[in-house]
Chain A
Amino acid sequence: MTSSEDAIMQLRDVWKAYRVGDIITWALRGINLSVLRGDFISIMGPSGSGKTTLLNVLGLLDRPTKGKVYVDGLDVSTVSPDELARIRNRKIGFVFQQFNLVARMSVYENIELSLIPARVPAARRREMILRALKSAGGEVEWLTKKPTQLSGGQQQRVAIARALVNNPEIILADEPTGNLDRASASVVLRTFLKLNRGGQTIIMVTHNPEVANCTNKIYLISDGVITGIRTPSRGECIALEGNV
């Protein structure tokens, strides 16, 4: 069974339950969502509303308890864990709130991590890494540095480069500015906007309205249910110079 041809990612009546002892908690309750190519959407909601669970389901990091997830028209609810890993590697790039860079590795090696499961030949890697770092607003001088030698904003740009290096169809960002000061958050958002203008699909989870207002569409989630879709107010986007 396939989904709508325009949607790169689609959720149909997705439910997700967590069991702690005898208690079952429903983190997602009947989510329906279509992400079109080139979309830049944000998912907003209070803590515990199910934002990150939704992002994990979208990123194939977690399977729904009920419902269907389609990636590029493919129903992924039945594919093997190894195939899920391959789809994640080829089609999805992740950006995390904590950056999640490996401290012992250089910036180059961190970005290279995405290329290893893709089995990209070593000869092609440097060029791909440089292109990704440039797209993420990074600098060549960072390549030999360890992540701890960079500022938070710089580290997040490295993380974006790692997400971009495989040319994924979609970038999933979980509170990408949550650990950054206002100026760094603005730089990261500008990077996302630039990528989106280039056609990159981005889904971002945030609880910050100034960040959500930089996207094209805001999904409001509460108690595991999408309660509304709001048009962002671009004038209140953190990435606009006057707002920094």
Chain B
Amino acid sequence: MLKDVFRYSMKVLTEKRFRAVLTIIGIAIGPLALVMMTSTVRGYAGFIEKSILALGQNTVVMLPSEKYRLSKSDIDYIKGLEEVDDAEPFYSTQGYIQTPEGRKNVFLYAVDPSMLLRAIGGLEIELGELPQDVETTYCVIGHSIAYSVGTGTKIYDVGDVITVNMVEVLSGGRVNVRRISIRVKGVFKEFGGAAFVSPDQSIFLPAKSGTTLLNMKEISGVFIIAKDPSLVDALTRKLRSVYQDKVTVVAFQQIARTVSSVTAALDFIVFSASLSAFAVAVAGTASTMITSVIERTREIGVLKALGFTDRQVVLMILTEAIIMSLIGGAIGITLGTLGAHLLASRGLSIAAGSSRVDIVANPEITIETLITTVLITIMVGIVGGTLPAYRAAKIPPAVALRYE
């Protein structure tokens, strides 16, 4: 019976194929929007969350405000807190290097090497080693500095010297470009895009280089490692309470939670927006099916005269609607998947203060998303087809046979 109903429905749809195609296009917009938007948003959200968490769930960063200077006594106080396992200052600035591919912007961090590896989880040495604390002119460079982004060929190797240009604004507004030369002692493995800190595009020096080689007079911030991720909230509360507005306390774990709640809200908005496309599809399907039923009133009368029950008539009309939905769904999901990859490949820029990180994340197309999309699309067919099907089933056969 189902095979016959399917065959009959396909005949009806192919007879009025232009109308069916237009309806299918209308239906396809819903799954297209749902798959494309949710998978892209989820892809980027997941990427950002993962990147933030990769920086360390125990890690807290404290940055001084413009009016406050961090000192050694601050570091000692923080180290003495019961929630804190370790704390080290860091110096950070920006510069640029000249490569065969042209000018490349880099971030420079002067920080205790062991603290660096603890604060940024997942950071691993690919070549060479970390410089000793006293090797103030040695550095470890990020993967994007060591290798050409375009071709993947090596630009800097262990032992090479990198010249970094740093723009300094002097008193009176004069601008001076200061050049420093650093020898590469190690290269980090590719870390991938990371939010707020981008190890691939950074040069890491020992902590002492901050005041000597980089000529920085003020501590840029403090990396703090909590004893346990569960203590991070208490630690940040304590630091904020003690330092008030003198510092900004950033916990990657908290950022990840905030990002998670924001992206969940965004996900809901995207999902709701996609549902409106499905609502339009329901109206389109209902309109098509009602027209089809009216046109076939006499035929439905004949089917009933031949012995088709009301339920079988409903099944036939609903099958037509569901077939259109499934075709529309398949087209929508396919185009949505392609669209998501296209959209995601354009990348996203995240600006944090003066730094900017470009990230490219793959869309997150999950089985759950696809099943949800297919189920909603089938519902479009069922909801859109129910009223016309019910109407068709309830036409008295004698009346239907008289219909002109």
Q: Decide: A117 near B309, CB < 8 A? Known: A61-B398, A104-B12.
A: yes
CB–CB A96/B11 < 8 A: no
Q: In whole Å, how far is A158's beta carbon from the nearest beta carbon of chain B?
A: 13
Inter-chain contacts of A114 with B (CB < 8 A) = 306-307
Inter-chain contacts of B311 with A (CB < 8 A) = 82
Give bound CA distance, A50 to B47, whole Å: 77
Inter-chain contacts of A86 with B (CB < 8 A) = 307, 309
- Which residue from B1, B5, B11, B304 sits with its C-beta under 8 Å from A61? B304
CB–CB B312/A117 < 8 A: yes
Please report which residues of chain A, range 60-102, place their CB below 8 angstroms from some CB of chain B when the two chains form the complex: 61-62, 81-82, 85-86, 88-90, 94, 96, 100, 102
Inter-chain contacts of B307 with A (CB < 8 A) = 85-86, 88-90, 114, 117-118, 166
Interface range, B side = 20 to 34
Of B254-262, B295-303, B350-358, the one with at least 4 CB within 8 A of chain A: B295-303
Residue among B14, B15, B301, B306 with max Cβ neighbours from chain A (10 Å): B306
Inter-chain contacts of A166 with B (CB < 8 A) = 307
CB nearest neighbor in B for A88 = B307
CB–CB B309/A82 < 8 A: yes
Please report which residues of chain B, range 1-53, place their CB below 8 angstroms from some CB of chain A when the two chains form the complex: 1, 3-5, 8, 11-12, 14-15
* Mask of B194-237 contacts with A, CB within 8 angstroms, 1/0: 00000000000000000000000000000000000000000000
CB nearest neighbor in A for B11 = A104
- Which residue from A89, A109, A122 sits with its C-beta under 8 Å from B306? A89
CB–CB A56/B304 < 8 A: no
Q: Decide: A61 near B306, CB < 8 A? Known: A82-B311, A104-B15.
A: no
Q: Decide: A62 near B309, CB < 8 A? Known: A100-B302, A104-B15.
A: no
Inter-chain contacts of A56 with B (CB < 8 A) = 398, 401
Inter-chain contacts of A90 with B (CB < 8 A) = 307
CB–CB A85/B308 < 8 A: yes
Q: Decide: A61 near B397, CB < 8 A? Known: A104-B12, A117-B308.
A: yes
CB–CB B302/A61 < 8 A: no
Inter-chain contacts of B12 with A (CB < 8 A) = 104
Please report which residues of chain B, range 352-404, place their CB below 8 angstroms from some CB of chain A when the two chains form the complex: 396-398, 401
Q: Decide: A88 near B11, CB < 8 A? Known: A61-B398, A116-B4.
A: no
Give bound CA distance, A110 to B3, whole Å: 16
Give bound CA distance, A117 to B304, whole Å: 10
CB nearest neighbor in B for A104 = B15
CB nearest neighbor in A for B1 = A119
Please report which residues of chain B, range 53-105, place their CB below 8 angstroms from some CB of chain A when the two chains form the complex: none
The answer to the question of B310 belonging to the interface, with a C-beta cut-off of 8 Å to chain A, is: yes
Give bound CA distance, A94 to B308, whole Å: 13
* Mask of B261-300 contacts with A, CB within 8 angstroms, 1/0: 0000000000000000000000000000000000000110
CB–CB B308/A100 < 8 A: no
The answer to the question of A162 belonging to the interface, with a C-beta cut-off of 8 Å to chain B, is: yes
The answer to the question of A17 belonging to the interface, with a C-beta cut-off of 8 Å to chain B, is: no
The answer to the question of B155 belonging to the interface, with a C-beta cut-off of 8 Å to chain A, is: no
Give bound CA distance, A48 to B211, whole Å: 110
The answer to the question of B305 belonging to the interface, with a C-beta cut-off of 8 Å to chain A, is: yes
CB nearest neighbor in A for B3 = A122
Give the B-binding residues of A (Cβ under 8 A).
Answer: 56, 59, 61-62, 81-82, 85-86, 88-90, 94, 96, 100, 102, 104-105, 109, 113-114, 116-119, 122, 162, 166
Closest CB pairs A-B (n = 8): A89-B307, A117-B307, A62-B398, A104-B15, A85-B309, A56-B398, A61-B398, A61-B397
